[in-house]
Amino acid sequence: MANPKEKTPMCLVNELARYNKIQPEYKLLSEQGPAHSKIFSVRLTLGDQHWDAEGTSIKKAQHSAATCALTQTTLPKPSHRSPRHPGKNPDNVTHTVELNALCMKLGKKPIYKPIDQLYIVLFIFFLISYYYPFPPVGPVLYQMELSIGGQQFHGKGRTRQAAKHDAAAKAIKYLQKEPIMQQIAEVKEPVQENLNKSEISQVFEIALKRNMPVNFEVLKETGPPHMKNFVVRVTVGEFSGEGEGKSKKIAKKLAAIAVLEELRILPQLPVIDKIPLRIKKKSKSIIKLQTSPEYGQGMNPISRLAQIQQSKKEKEPEYTLVTERGLPRRREFVMQVSVASQNAEGMGPSKKVAKRNAAEKMLELLGFKVPQPQPPKPALKMDEKAPAKKTGDGRKVTFFEPGSVEKAGIVNKEEDFRVPFLSHQQLPAGILPMVPEVAQAVGANQGPHAKDYCRTAAPNPAKTTVTAMIANELLYAGTSPTAEGILKTNNSLPHRPHGPLSRPSEQLSYLATIQGLQVEYKDFPKNNKNEFVSLINCSSQPPLISHGIGKEVESCHDMAALNILKLLSELDQQSNERTANGPMTGSVSNVKESLIVLKYELVV
């Protein structure tokens, strides 16, 4: 309601019921709709009459029913009663109060002066009373003189207060005709806006509009601790003002008042009209009714079925648990949904899924379109351009037997992939055997020294043992007597290093130089962070690949080289196992999966 003092329809109904000596009764009939937008239906009973109304809340529904009752009731209505004391209405403003407010705006002070002649009348009556009887006297009138800025106004009344009101009323009529009041009326709105703003806020507001800095500074602090006196200066651009008070707050306020007078004299800033943004609303080309078969295809079937029933103003669907079967960890629930006279059942591993399936079947029975279930997306993105494999086009895996080296060369390369024996339990984290797919991914088969990785030659047991000895000595001592002996016998190799080697990358480079191995590093940034990932390829028998992670490229190289050195130190043990048991072959698909995991770690 616009006026808060206006009586509400429910209040008027209560007065009507009290006048007719009956009791009003409100009854909630029903509530419909989802939780966020319910519709309530309320019935109002007055005697033998009933009125029904709806609303988005119970209170609004009650008011609507009360409004209908007031307009349609046949009960006698009470007559409107005027207030008992019209003069004591707090909303009525007396003329003296209104004049005081007007004088404050004009900067003038009203002065009241009584003019009483009662003592003269009494003296005359005293003299005449000796000779003549006392004559009848009429009612005594009081007079009041009001002075405002050199203007006098006279008022009369049966009391002095009434005389003051009369004089104030005459002064108000006169002052409202002055041209200064018209100027006050023109600037009335900005004054009203600044009534709730302090002087300090107004100073900051003006300074912000004119891009001027504001600085408050305490100049002086005098007086005893319990009666301090502060002097504060405020500087706004080129203007400044001072204020003095018993607290810093009062002093700041007085200083702001002083500088505010100077700021208000400044010329007004040009008004820049803002161009409103043009927002074009898209018109809906298709308006789907809730009862159409296409309505709500992207919604949850349970919510969709409930809204369809609400739009039809029918009973909402009821779900019941029919049975629960299966093992404790492989439960299967059967839910039944009932709509009118139709029933549908749905099954699922949980009650929620079974309820959803039952709702979908019910929608199909009612003639609504249900979207077809889409196949789940794979966890890893596969190549869409790769042709689909045909049934029976799988690659064959053959096992190596001693004495069959000559026969192995006859087998087609596309059908035989022999993976060097590397047990997953012996491999440290990040070490993968070098198979053709891995070599192609990291670029090991590129460059002038490219080799054919599709067919790995049989390792030399003697060279493998020497490589393992050198790697083991470098890991634990930083120097290798075996490598120094090889350097003495072979003059073509570079000279031995001075002192022990501390970094694993230097140790691996030293080992590769002696044994004729090729070591290649490839560096990548890790997911836009301050970290790097380095891949290392080692052309040993079998070829190895590893990676290292660190905040610097050197630390990544050291980490990857350390993994390769540890694996090279164990090659002689693996060679002995291969001699006894024969090399084991692994599935290419397993190696591909390991490669995918390594690529994922690089991205992360």
Q: What is the mean pLDDT of residues 156-173?
A: 90
Q: What is the mean pLDDT of residues 542-552?
A: 82
Q: What is the mean pLDDT of residues 424-432?
A: 47
597 and 520 assigned to the same domain: yes
Exposed, middle or buried, 26 (CB in 10 Å: 0-12/13-18/19+)?
Answer: middle
30 and 99 assigned to the same domain: no
Distance CA 514, CA 584 (A): 29
Give the number of domains in the chain. 5
* Position 291 in a domain: no
pLDDT, the chain, mean: 74
Q: What is the mean pLDDT of residues 120-139?
A: 54
Distance of CA 241 to the CA centre of its chain: 45
423 and 552 assigned to the same domain: yes
Q: What is the pLDDT of residue 462?
A: 73
Q: What is the pLDDT of residue 19?
A: 92
Predicted confidence (pLDDT) per residue in 344-370, tens digit: 999 999 999 999 999 999 988 888 877
Of 263, 293, 314, which one is at a domain's C-terminal end? 263
* Position 403 in a domain: no
* Position 582 in a domain: yes
Which of 374-388, 454-468, 530-544 is least confident?
374-388
Q: What is the pLDDT of residue 89?
A: 46
* Position 282 in a domain: no
Question: Would strands 239-245 and 318-327 be described as parallel, antiparallel, or unpaired?
Answer: unpaired
Question: Would strands 318-327 and 330-339 be described as parallel, antiparallel, or unpaired?
Answer: antiparallel
Q: Give the closest residue to 199 by CA, choosing from 156, 258, 159.
A: 258
Instruction: Please state at what angle helix 461-477 crosses helix 481-489, rounded to 10 degrees.
Output: 120
Of 72, 107, 127, which one is at a domain's C-terminal end? 72
Q: What is the pLDDT of residue 400?
A: 47
pLDDT at 583 > cutoff 50: no
* Position 132 in a domain: yes
483 and 548 assigned to the same domain: yes
99 and 64 assigned to the same domain: no
Question: Would strands 229-236 and 239-245 be described as parallel, antiparallel, or unpaired?
Answer: antiparallel
* Position 276 in a domain: no
585 and 471 assigned to the same domain: yes
Q: Identify the residue with better confidence: 330 or 388.
A: 330
180 and 250 assigned to the same domain: no
Distance of CA 593 to the CA centre of its chain: 39
pLDDT at 548 > cutoff 50: yes
Question: Structure pTM?
Answer: 0.27
182 and 215 assigned to the same domain: no
Q: Confirm if 544 and 538 have CB atoms less than 8 A apart.
A: yes
User: What domain range includes position 251?
Assistant: 200-263
227 and 310 assigned to the same domain: no
* Position 567 in a domain: yes
At 61 the three-state DSSP class reads helix
337 and 205 assigned to the same domain: no
250 and 309 assigned to the same domain: no
Distance CA 563, CA 549 (A): 12
Q: Could you tell me the two tokens for 3?
A: 């006026």
- Going by pLDDT thresholds of 50, 70 and 90, the confidence category of residue 326 is confident
Of 186, 210, 228, which one is at a domain's C-terminal end? 186
68 and 119 assigned to the same domain: no
* Position 399 in a domain: no
Q: What is the mean pLDDT of residues 499-523?
A: 80
CATH number of the domain at 169, please.
Answer: 3.30.160.20
